[in-house]
A and B are shown apart, each in its own frame.
Chain A
């Protein structure tokens, strides 16, 4: 089987892939290395890649710099981002899966019309409602609530759950319902535990989008006490004098939570993205 020729081929494959992956991830390497280097060595030509004078000083400096009422507190930015992500993800899972169940498994007049409405709303990107929303909720600026609320109900999530629920054989639910379980109990006790892959992939996708969310905070948040991390990142890198080491350390702290989620739930995520795409 493993003739010298196929072995050589395999070796070539690895070589090509390694070179490509190395080049492709250079910016990431640069981010992590630079965050550990003194600032004057970061923007310093190709020697920015040399692992010299490594320390965590930049990280402590960021936490030190963002530690007052006027600049805001780093852990508060992080806390705001985590809280918003938590509310949007869990609230979204609850509300959207429930809607998808009511629309795919319970038979009632008008459900097709409601589903069509949701599919139509799916066509409207958030960008095209950002301006009127900004105007409608202008007196709610700088609150946590208005940062989370518009993103809980999500047409695409409903659609993803809807496709998933329709692929479950109905016999299991029928049995539960014949035993006297109502639709709510059937959903929460039987359908939800069966649908972990769908919940995982919707949760991860929602988390990813919410974590990087930028447009809405730009419009709605000026107060550092409710500012999420990505917005603070742009504020931080726009201040003079710019400290590159600290900026990159900030960047690492911004990306670590989402990298962790990605590392742990990669399979679910990739599967979820792929499934929704193929069926869509």
Chain B
């Protein structure tokens, strides 16, 4: 086997781990990283996106539109949750843990009761390609590109648009933003919806590759929190490098010693990063800049 095959295989595994970490984490990076709401129902927004995607695809929609539907529905559910629950708890961050945990239990059990214990999958599109001795799934490359696309879109949204400026102003100094005429309640709602929608997008993108069950969100939760915690408060400057670092650790450890060591490596990396950089990677980068 030549070196090019090995290099490609390592890159593919890195890209695969990176995509999973970044897509799992983006929604949480907005809701937890930026807004400071510890959203334990993050996995259930992902599940919602995946279920809506699968349901619409079963109903005859093409997959990309299904994923879009999953994203939109999750965002709408996000608006409802924000209006009904989260809005009243912004100054009580610890209470949001209990509230969102309750929501996640209700969502999981509600789905089990209403939709049943499983849902039929939709099948992974595009097929595979061969490099050297290994064959690879093309859809995994699509996931990697989607992760890069989402990061780029978030960067553009929060740095180049008026909405992005308003969001950052509202979250930094809410009363000052309000005094200058910003409808901070609306901004909070929209930001939360944006995070929920991103979670739905992750669910939609992974729906073709996974078992669709009410508890599927739980498989994203660990990676999502780990990435956001070491990423820090800034969505782009935190999530992207955190995803990169963790993907290297995870893919190297997994190829060396298997899945168990991949997970151990991930958690050890988090402990080290949190110890050395308490404000996460973005905190470190931003401090250097100022």
Binding between chains A and B: no
B residues in contact (CB < 8 Å) with A = none
A residues in contact (CB < 8 Å) with B = none
